[in-house]
Chains A and B, each alone.
Chain A
Amino acid sequence: MTPTSALAGRRSGGVPPRRRPAGRLRPGRVLAIWLPVGLFLAFTLLPIYWLVVSSLKGPVELFAFPISYWPERPTLANYVRALTETRLVQLYLNSLIAAGGTCLALVALMIIGGYAMARFDFPGRSLVLALFLAAQLLPPVVMLVPVFSMFAALGLLNTRGALVVIYVVTLLPFSVMTMRSFYAAIPVELEEAAMIDGCTRLGALFRVLLPVALPGLVATTIYGFINSWNELLFAVMLVQSPRLQTIPVGLMSMTDEARTEYGMMLAIAVLALAPSLLLFGVIQRWLTAGLSAGAVKG
């Protein structure tokens, strides 16, 4: 809300000051850049600030009115209780296994699949392209019933493998195509030189091409990790035994619980948020630099 009004204010915000010879902090620059920057930062950060601060309050302070904007007596009690009294560790582990397993499979498949799409023109190539495009446009909720039935027939329901398989399937098109674009940016001469020196084609891929494309591989893998770490729909549907559930599923069910448990829920939300934010910091530059419009998902 605030940033939109900031933009409006920028337009109507009084008469713009007369152009002055280069000063350090010209009022026009403050109005055009620093004011919106400040508002955008506030809009982004305040909700996260409020989550973290609230998770550090004890049960009494959390529900005291009027509320305090800084924890008077910061405590880790919510975190300790979440770790000892809930199945947080189990949830965390399940999420790690699902996201980690997904990334391992993705890495293997996109290294070779992206290479095929980047360096070869083979019969059926356009068919594969169409397949990947269609798969990316497929609504997850439409896949729900068929995937459930298919996994039931395969005996995959309520297994650790279920989420890995479906996450790999949904993330593969994006990953392969992104990897393809990273390979494509590398000159072919590099491999040709290696092959003249006696490398096989696959040898050239792994010894010459891949090391150059490594940053892209890491970024794409992290993208896959964040997406599977956050996923809810398939996690709810395909894994119903509490022992195997992931963090988003556990967190969502906590919103139904008693208000006295809110402190713990906020603490778990912070712990669920931390890996995504840290990893986002790692790939942020790559996201803004090289990603085409069609590629980014929500």
Chain B
Amino acid sequence: MRRHALPLVLIAPAALLVGAGAIYPIAFVVWLSGYDYQPYRAGMMVRVGAENLLRVVDDGTFWHALQVSAIWVAGSVIPQFLLGLGMALVLNESFRGRGLVRTVILAPWAVSGVVTGIIWLWIFDGTIGVLNDLLLRAGAIEFPVPWGIHEETTWLMVLLANAWRGAPFFAIVLLAALQSIEPELYEAAQLDGASALRRFRHVTLPLILDAVVVSTLLRALWTFNFIDLILTMTRGGPVDATKTLPIYIFDVAYQRGEFGYAAALSVALCLVLAAFSLVWWQIRRLGGR
């Protein structure tokens, strides 16, 4: 009995805090999604049952936000993964000054979304941004481009900023995976006359595949929920072009104060993420055969 008492006492504070602060909200969200609740206005809770969820299905902005989220996630994770893989492969080689180079290349991981947004807003400034200046000097454009006004150029701006900040995440994870590969495997492959590309395809890739699958899934989920950068750079604009689902929920809760409907949208968000994760794992299981 005493043997079991100590660990329970030691873990209890953390477990209770996490339980109360993270798991209870899920139950609350599911419960609240059945109500109309706008605390800033009347503050009356009116039971509406499934009406809120039906409203989500009918909500054009919800479906639009879902499409925007898909662009945001795919446009973020794919280039970040490729960049991060490149970084990890280079950092896995031994060369003079590698420690310092590694610290510098990985540093944007620690930069906040807000500061990243400000840095890239300034680079992409529509009149005196450094990017416009470089392109003007190179003769690629005749007039400064107002990047933040058009939908396509806004995406370019936001996704590039996100790639800058997000590539180090993949570099960190993939570098750890690369460093766990036995060097003897490469020596053996080299002795067999395998080219660098074939060594990557047949030795490196299979051995880091698990890290790739897990990290891309986690990164996709995390990116889906990451709103700091878009909020700083575009506020979801121009005209909702970059309004992802979490930003829409944030608007509904924070700007409009419709807590009940925000809860219903949150339930929908959780279902979408769960479905996405399931599909991803199925693909992994089929591909792993």
Contact = CB atoms under 8 A, between A and B. Distances in A.
A93 interface: no
A33 B101 CA distance: 12
Interface stretch (B48-56, B113-121, B181-189): B113-121
A4 B83 CA distance: 6
Interface in B188-214: 211, 214
B59 to A, nearest CB: 16
Interface string A273-297: 1001101110011011111111011
B28 A48 contact: no
A139 B228 contact: no
Given A50-B130, A66-B137, A272-B115, A291 B14 contact: no
B215 A293 contact: yes
Given A141-B249, A233-B228, A280-B110, A169 B17 contact: yes
Nearest to A270: B115
A141 B95 contact: no
A229 interface: yes
A69 B130 CA distance: 9
Contact of A48 (B23, B87, B119, B262): B119
Given A143-B22, A150-B25, A63 B87 contact: no
Contacts of A269: 115, 118-119
Interface residues of B, number: 98
Given A33-B95, A252-B231, A277-B111, A293 B218 contact: yes
Interface in A84-140: 109-110, 112-113, 115-117, 119-120, 122-125, 128, 131-132, 134-135, 137-140
Contacts of A262: 122
Given A255-B121, A277-B111, A291 B262 contact: no
Interface stretch (A34-42, A70-78, A191-199, A212-220): A34-42
Given A36-B90, A145-B253, A293-B218, A67 B133 contact: yes
B214 A294 contact: yes
A33 B99 CA distance: 14
Interface size class of A (residues with CB under 8 A): 35 or more
A147 to B, nearest CB: 6
Contact of B101 (A37, A138, A144, A294): A37
Interface of A: 1, 3-4, 6-7, 32-34, 36-37, 40-41, 43-45, 47-48, 50-51, 54, 63-67, 69, 109-110, 112-113, 115-117, 119-120, 122-125, 128, 131-132, 134-135, 137-150, 152, 165-166, 168-170, 172-173, 176, 201, 226, 229-230, 232-233, 236-237, 248, 251-252, 255, 262, 265-266, 269, 272-273, 276-277, 279-281, 284-285, 287-294, 296-298
Given A109-B13, A170-B21, 11 more contacts: A3-B86, A4-B82, A33-B95, A40-B90, A48-B107, A50-B123, A144-B253, A251-B118, A272-B114, A289-B176, A290-B176
